[in-house]
Structure 1
Amino acid sequence: MRPLDRIDYQILDILQKEGRISMSELAARVHLSTTPCSERVKRLEREGVILGYHARIDPKKVDRNLLVFVEIKLSAKSGEVFEQVAENLSALPEVLECHLISGEFDYLVKARLKEMSAYRRLLGDLLKQLPASASSHSYVVMEEVKESLYLELS
């Protein structure tokens, strides 16, 4: 991968905010013609800098009002256990994010569900499936103050 330059960063900044912008508009905004701009975007995609394009959906409009964070502590730790836990958690569609973390707990999980009973089922399934879960702590979100996928690049 070649190093990113100023124009690459401008392209990335614009695409983060306006993923559906036309290539001709993007090119005009970064002061390139359409073909070189398009080639840069394709290179950024090919090199894995741009991971994809997604529609952002309002959870309330699709009946996914409950946002929960769960800390999970494992009773046993090994590469094999971490691999199995990652596989199990990744397979659950309600799980939006899962992070192996340092500190008192091993995993931090972010899940979005319809209601508390759905969360109760998820937590039960989660703890049963994990090979070495010892304990969990849950945090139900009362109000979302900020959620963003935008990365400041300057």
Structure 2
Amino acid sequence: MNLDKFDLAILGVLQGDARASLQDIGTAVGLSSTPCWNRIKRMEAAGVIKGYTVQIDPAAVGFMDTVIVHVTLESHSEEMLYKFGQALAQIPEVLEAFLVSGDYDYFIRIAVRDTRDYERLLRERLYMIPGIRHSKSSFVLRRLKESALPLHLAGAQTRG
């Protein structure tokens, strides 16, 4: 889908506040409410806008630790990769999983209550997945940056 400067501006407003009113979005991007609505609907239908979420402080709901797990699999067959991905999808504590290049096959971000909770998750869930050759865990000490997409840099690949 080709995005113009208005589409990118709308996306920027929504990244900052997904609950912004059509009037506020229109004012911010220089369009009336109806064209904004039409553009948003078009971007939703095309999959550019995948959904609307709320950001929750993990510690406020009891998830005091974040762990990054680096995993190496025994095999790189399509079947192994598929089954591993399916198994990860069944673990609610797994927030994100990335198939990566380099020394490891996956980087997995996991939310846990504490180290005891993580040890339980390893034994009862993660290490029960067939095909793991090696894993290495790193506890996140502090999040240094969390940001929205740099939409101002996307302009080179869009129209208008």
Superposition TM-score tier, normalisation by shorter sequence: over 0.9
Which position in structure 1 is the counterpart of 2:138? 139
Which position in structure 2 is the counterpart of 1:90? 89
Per-residue CA deviations over 1:57-98 (Å, capped at 9, x if unaligned) read: 011110101110000111122000000000001111100100
> Post-superposition shift, 1:144?
1.8
Higher RCO (C-alpha under 8 Å, 6+ residues apart): 2
Alpha-carbon distance between aligned partners in 2 of 1:147 and 1:25, rounded to the nearest angstrom: 24
Q: TM-score, normalised by structure 2?
A: 0.91
Which position in structure 2 is the counterpart of 1:102? 101
- State yes or no: 1:27 paired with 2:33: no
Which position in structure 2 is the counterpart of 1:128? 128
Per-residue CA deviations over 1:30-54 (Å, capped at 9, x if unaligned) read: 1111111101011111100011111
Alpha-carbon distance between aligned partners in 2 of 1:121 and 1:105, rounded to the nearest angstrom: 23
> Post-superposition shift, 1:28?
1.6
Which amino acid in 2 is paired with 1:15? L
Q: TM-score, normalised by structure 1?
A: 0.94
Count of aligned positions: 151
1:50-61, aligned counterparts within 5 Å?
50-61=49-60
Identify unmatched segments of 5+ residues in structure 2.
Answer: 153-160
For the aligned residue pairs, the C-alpha RMSD in angstroms reads 1.0
Among all aligned residue pairs of Structure 1 and Structure 2, give the percentage whose two residues are the same amino acid.
Answer: 39
Alpha-carbon distance between aligned partners in 1 of 2:122 and 2:95, rounded to the nearest angstrom: 14
Q: Where does structure 1 differ by over 3 angstroms across 4 or more consecutive aligned residues? A: none
- Matched residue of 1:121: which SS? helix
Which amino acid in 2 is paired with 1:142? L
Alpha-carbon distance between aligned partners in 1 of 2:4 and 2:146, rounded to the nearest angstrom: 28
